[in-house]
Structure 1
C-alpha cells in the first residue's frame, strides 16, 4: 500500500508557519522554498545547535531531511522539535508516523497517526491522509483484518477515493 501524501503542500505550510525566527532559521526557510534541501538542513542544524528557536529549527530540519529521503534523520528532528516545545500538531505526528512506516516500524507509525488524528485544528485533508495512513500501518503489521475494518470505515467517510477503492480490492484477496 502506498501512503497518501500531501507532503509538498504540508511541508510548505509548515515551513511558512515558522515565523519570528532567528537568522539561521530564516535562511533555512529560504533554502527550503528554493528546493535546496541540503543547505536548508545545514542552516536548521546550526540554529538548533545555538538553541535559537530550537523547536522551529528542528521542524525545518525535519522537513529538509524528509525531502532528502533521510527518514531516520527527519523522524529524529521532528521528535526533537516536540521535545523543544513545538506545538503538538497533526502535521508533526503525521510526518513522524510516515517516517516510521518508511523505516519499517508500522506499530510506532500507527501510534503517531492516532496521536495526529486526535489533535485539534487538523484540516480535513490532513485527517483524511492520516486515516488512510492508519490502514497502511495495519497492513505493514500484517493485520489485514484491522486494515479491512479501517478501510471500510474510511470508504464510508470518503466513498469517492479511488485509491482506497482499489486498496479494498487488494485487501479482499488477503
Structure 2
C-alpha cells in the first residue's frame, strides 16, 4: 500500500470512528434526557416533559433503536396531554412510518380528542390493513365503537382479530372480548370466556378479578 492510499484509509477510519463516537454519545444523552422527561411526565408537568422528549428525540444516533421509538411515544403522550393533538399526530406519523402499531392507536386517540370519530376509525382500519396481526389496533378500534355504545360492531372487530393465526397482543384482545360481552349484558358468554382466559393466563390478576366478578353475579 503506497503512502497516498495509507492516508486515504487513515482519513476514512478517523471519520468512521468519529461518527461512531458521536452516535454513541447521542444514544447516551438521548437516554438521560428522556429519563428527565419521564420524571416530568410522571409529575404531570407535560410542557416540560414534552421539551425534554423533543430534545431527546432530536439526538443523533447511528441507527433507529427501541429507545428512539419509546422517546417518540413519550413525546406524543406529552403533546396529547397538552391537547396539542395535531402536533402529536405528526409524532405518531413518524412511528407509523417505522411500522410501529402503537403509532396507529395513539393517532386514533388524538382524533378522538379532536372529536373526529370517523377519522379515528379510518386510522385504525389503515393500521389493520398495514399490520393485520397487530392486536392492539383491533382493541383500539373496539374502544372507539364502545365509546359510541356500538358494542356489536366493536365485537365484530375483535372476532376478526382472533381469526389471525399470527395475532400479536392476543391476550389483550381476549380480555377485551370479555368486556365486550359484559357491555352487551351477555354475562353467561362473558363468564365462559373469562374462565377460558384465566385457564390460558393463570397469573393475570386482572383476569382473575374479572372472573370472580362474573361468578358472583
- Which TM class, normalised by the smaller chain length? 0.5 to 0.7
Matched, 1:90 2:135: yes
Structure 1 regions of 5+ residues with no counterpart? Answer: 1-28
Higher helix share: 2
Residue in structure 2 matching 1:141, options 162, 179, 184: 184
Higher relative contact order (CA 8 A, sep 6+): 1
Query: Residue in 2 aligned with 1:152?
Result: 195
Report if the CA contact (8 A) 1:31-1:40 is conserved.
Answer: no
SS at match of 1:145: helix
How far the C-alpha of 1:114 sits from its partner, in A, is 1.9
Q: Give the TM-score taking structure 1 as reference length.
A: 0.59
1:40-61 deviation per Cα after TM superposition (whole angstroms, max 9, x unaligned): 436748xx9xxxx8xx9x9363
Q: CA deviation at 1:110?
A: 1.4
Residues 90 and 115 of structure 1 are in contact (CA less than 8 Å); yes or no, is this contact kept in structure 2?
A: no
**What is the aligned residue count?**
134
> Paired residue for 2:76?
33
2:215 & 2:107 partners in 1: Cα distance?
40
Distance 1:32 1:151, change over 3 A: same
TM-score (norm 2): 0.49
The answer to whether the 8 Å contact 2:191/2:211 transfers is yes
- The alpha carbon displacement at 1:65 in A equals 3.1
Distance 1:34 1:44, change over 3 A: closer
Go from structure 1 to structure 2 and tell me whether the alpha carbon gap of 1:70 and 1:148 turns closer, same or farther (over 3 Å shift).
Answer: farther
Which stretch shows the higher mean deviation, 32-41 or 153-162?
32-41
Cross-structure match for 1:112: 157
Change (3 A) 1:86 1:113: same
Q: Which structure has the bigger radius of gyration?
A: 2
1:143 Cα deviation from its structure 2 partner? 0.6
Gaps of 5+ in 2: 1-71
Aligned with 1:65 (options 111, 114, 118): 111
